[in-house]
A and B are shown apart, each in its own frame.
Chain A
């Protein structure tokens, strides 16, 4: 589902050069729930951005849902992001001037479909995260956990095969964090491949597989559970 080979990422600014990722090789299979851990600044977000086609590696090849990304052409990338990938961020990234429902509809604006279809899919996604009673609310009227559930609804509204979550529980207390993880686990059971960056060992333990990074290098890759919801 996701195949990274010999990935290297160098950030160059006028004064310094940072090697954010160094020879990373990861193969994530369909239906896996993978967590990524490591100290702050070790390259977790960079890795996730490369998987999510938000950033271009300096070296190496990326394969997403069967298509190898060699030419980083805007239109093709946008399409892959839109159809295959769903993103969840630590700081939610909801648009404050749009209602919950309108926020959730955003990915659907960048593909074909009627307003009515968008509405129905967004409502469906919000039901899945238990927020169908907050559709007309604005982000500022929601708690942190609720905001993250909206973000999850937005990530899944387009029915992507892959969900990438960068510290989705980082801004939440443990009760809310557990709630979010349960939702992700359910999505995984329904077939989604999930990659989640986390700082929380307990959260990581509830996933299938744990990849540890240190200073841009992949140090361990351990299978925690083999009971995948769907096959390879």
Chain B
């Protein structure tokens, strides 16, 4: 029967070409949208690696003031530690979790190099963020005087640079003149939030008198509110005249990052649904018309021994054959994405997206063909043959 249906469709391919193009286009758009969704879902399922609840980012900018900035920062840290509402304080670079700032460069070990995010942090970062150290150790004060500046790498960097080799104690080439020594490894660190893929990253150590990095992350007691925030800003602003003092909640910046990912997905999804509804309606119309035009054939088949079910199956089968041909054509295009590495995305994501897109297309064509096929099977054979 499948061969028979295939012939029937193939011999009518010109009449079906528009339908095939529509199904093909739906498949391609679905494939795109689903790739995006699968990519994001997969990322989302990977743990983010640290805690962000009750973490505040305190951002200072010294503006025109260049006098003894390092000392002022040190006394601010001291002050911050005195608040009973503040459990932990850590100093970081401007690319705090969920921020819009990015700092990256290429590093290498032996002849392997990789683009890596740099996160300047201090010795308190791991405890403040509850970032577990998987191997080696986190920074300590003594690191300030090490011959090679210490770094802690994340697992993604470890995999890229070291493979199965133990990275602890190894020297990573930073530029032509200098090396970093790996002192520790953490697991995941997805600084841009859950939807970010777990990119290679490494933490560098901020020394005490550093005047450059002026972001702080405070781990506050649960329930600490805006009253304390206002007091904090007032206090710090009083210590450093003419500086800007700003507090953001990490949970807020996380939401912003999520919108950045989700808004385009939602837009694509809406466009895609619109397209699919259109295709579905078109398909439904064409199928209804087709069946009206093929009454004769239906009557004939019934006369030759087709049951009602066989007629339904035939019409559903035809649309499945049509969808399969169109999607095989679509797959030819779709497989180019993983084959040519168009985007830096794991091939498995495309495969899942292809399978899902095929599933959705089959579902839609089945839904569209269901009612017309049922109608077709109800046509009385004598009536069908009468119509000429």
User: Does A98 have its Cβ within 8 Å of any Cβ on chain B?
Assistant: yes
User: Does B67 have its Cβ within 8 Å of any Cβ on chain A?
Assistant: no
Identity of the chain B residue whose Cβ is nearest the Cβ of A102 in the assembled complex: B7
For window 351-388 of B, CB contacts with A under 8 Å fall at: 380-382, 385-386, 388
Whether the pair B304, A82 counts as a contact (CB closer than 8 A) is yes
B83, chain A: closest CB distance, angstroms: 82
Whether the pair B307, A109 counts as a contact (CB closer than 8 A) is no
User: Does A54 have its Cβ within 8 Å of any Cβ on chain B?
Assistant: yes
For window 30-71 of A, CB contacts with B under 8 Å fall at: 45, 49, 52, 54-55
B222, chain A: closest CB distance, angstroms: 69
User: Which of the residues B1, B299, B388 comes within 8 Å of A109, measured between beta carbons?
Assistant: B1
**Per-position contact with B for A160-197: 1 when CB-CB < 8 Å, else 0?**
00000000000000000000000000000000000000
When distances are taken between beta carbons in the complex, the residues of chain A under 8 Å from B1 are 109
Q: Identify which of A54, A55, A74, A83 gathers the most chain B CB atoms within 10 Å of its CB.
A: A54
Whether the pair A55, B382 counts as a contact (CB closer than 8 A) is yes
User: Which of the residues A49, A55, A78, A105 comes within 8 Å of B307, measured between beta carbons?
Assistant: A78
B350, chain A: closest CB distance, angstroms: 36
A99, chain B: closest CB distance, angstroms: 8
Whether the pair B306, A110 counts as a contact (CB closer than 8 A) is yes
Whether the pair B301, A106 counts as a contact (CB closer than 8 A) is yes
Whether the pair A115, B305 counts as a contact (CB closer than 8 A) is no
Whether the pair A98, B7 counts as a contact (CB closer than 8 A) is yes
When distances are taken between beta carbons in the complex, the residues of chain A under 8 Å from B53 are none
Q: How many residues of B contact A (CB 8 A)?
A: 27
Q: Identify which of B299, B305, B380, B388 gathers the most chain A CB atoms within 10 Å of its CB.
A: B305
The verdict on A81 contacting B303 (CB below 8 Å), with A102-B7, A105-B4, A115-B3 known, is yes
Bound-state CA distance A111–B306 (Å) is 9
The verdict on A54 contacting B381 (CB below 8 Å), with A82-B305, A91-B388, A107-B305 known, is yes
Whether the pair A54, B388 counts as a contact (CB closer than 8 A) is no
Whether the pair B4, A102 counts as a contact (CB closer than 8 A) is yes
B349, chain A: closest CB distance, angstroms: 40
Give residues in A with beta carbon < 8 Å to B: 45, 49, 52, 54-55, 74-75, 78-79, 81-83, 85, 87, 89, 91, 93, 95, 97-99, 102, 105-107, 109-111, 115, 138, 154, 158
Would you give 24 A-B contacts (Cβ < 8 Å), ordered by A?
A: A54-B299, A54-B385, A74-B308, A78-B306, A79-B305, A81-B302, A81-B303, A81-B305, A89-B385, A91-B388, A95-B8, A97-B8, A97-B11, A98-B7, A98-B11, A106-B301, A107-B304, A107-B305, A110-B301, A110-B304, A110-B306, A110-B307, A115-B3, A138-B11
Which 7 A-B residue pairs are closest in the complex by CB-CB distance? A82-B305, A110-B305, A55-B382, A78-B307, A97-B11, A107-B304, A54-B382
